[in-house]
C-alpha cells in the first residue's frame, strides 16, 4: 500500500484536539459535537512510494439530508513520513433540525483515482443551550 493512514484527529479551538479511533471497539462509538462548532481534520500518514496528487475526500451523510462532499488536495509526497496535514476548518450545521448522528467516510486517493486509505466514523451534532452548554443525550460519550 502506498499510503498508510496512521491517525485522524479532530481539532477545534473550543473543544481541543481528540483522536478518532481508526479501528477497534472505540471506532463504533460516535462523538458528540455541539452544533456550529468549527472543526478541522488532522491527518497523520506514511507514504510507501512516491505519490502524486494525493487528495482527501470526505462524504458526510445523514438520513433526510443531502450528502455533503468535501475534497482537499494534499499534494505530492515522497516515500517516507510520517506526514502531518491539517485540513481547512469546517463549521458543523446549526439548528435542532440538523442535530443527530452523521456518518463520515474519509478516503485518500492519488491523481490516478486509486484509493489508498479509507476511514468510516460517526458523530452526533448536539444542540447548544442558551448558556452555551451542549445538550448531550443520556448514555452517550462526550467529545472532551
Choose between 128 and 68: higher pLDDT: 68
Is 141 part of any domain? no
Is 138 part of any domain? no
Mean pLDDT of 44-61: 93
Q: What is the CATH number for 22?
A: 2.70.50.30
Name the average pLDDT for the chain. 86
Cis omega (within 30 of 0) on the bond before 82? Answer: yes
What are the phi and psi torsion angles at 96 (to 5°)? -55, -30
When pLDDT is cut at 50, 70 and 90, the band that residue 21 belongs to is confident
Is 23 part of any domain? yes
Lowest mean pLDDT among 17-21, 34-38, 61-65, 129-133: 129-133
Query: E strands, the chain, where?
Result: 3-12, 16-20, 31-34, 38-47, 51-62, 65-77, 80-86, 90-91, 100-109, 115-126
69-102 pLDDT, tens digit per residue, is 999 999 999 999 999 999 999 999 898 888 999 9
When pLDDT is cut at 50, 70 and 90, the band that residue 56 belongs to is very high
The alpha-helical segments, DSSP class H, found in the chain are none
Check: CB of residue 144 under 8 Å from CB of residue 30: no
Range of the domain at 97: 3-126
Check: CB of residue 35 under 8 Å from CB of residue 126: yes
The total number of structural domains in the chain stands at 1
What was the pLDDT predicted at 12?
92
- Angstrom distance (rounded) from CA 15 to CA 41: 13
Is 24 part of any domain? yes
Pairing of strands 16-20, 51-62: unpaired
What was the pLDDT predicted at 144?
44
Is 55 part of any domain? yes
- Angstrom distance (rounded) from CA 87 to CA 8: 11
Amino acid at each position: 500500500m502506498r499510503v498508510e493512514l496512521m491517525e485522524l484527529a479532530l481539532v477545534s479551538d473550543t473543544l481541543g484536539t481528540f483522536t478518532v479511533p481508526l479501528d477497534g471497539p472505540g471506532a463504533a462509538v460516535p462523538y458528540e459535537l455541539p452544533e456550529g462548532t468549527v472543526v478541522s481534520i488532522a491527518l497523520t500518514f506514511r507514504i510507501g512510494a512516491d505519490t502524486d496528487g494525493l487528495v482527501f475526500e470526505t462524504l458526510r451523510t445523514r438520513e433526510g439530508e443531502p450528502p455533503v462532499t468535501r475534497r482537499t488536495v494534499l499534494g505530492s509526497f515522497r516515500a517516507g513520513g510520517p506526514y502531518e496535514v491539517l485540513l481547512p476548518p469546517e463549521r458543523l450545521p446549526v439548528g435542532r433540525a440538523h442535530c443527530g448522528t452523521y456518518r463520515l467516510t474519509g478516503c485518500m486517493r492519488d491523481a490516478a483515482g486509486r484509493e489508498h486509505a479509507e476511514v468510516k466514523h460517526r458523530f452526533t451534532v448536539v444542540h447548544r443551550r442558551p448558556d452555551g452548554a451542549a445538550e448531550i443525550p443520556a448514555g452517550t460519550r462526550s467529545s472532551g
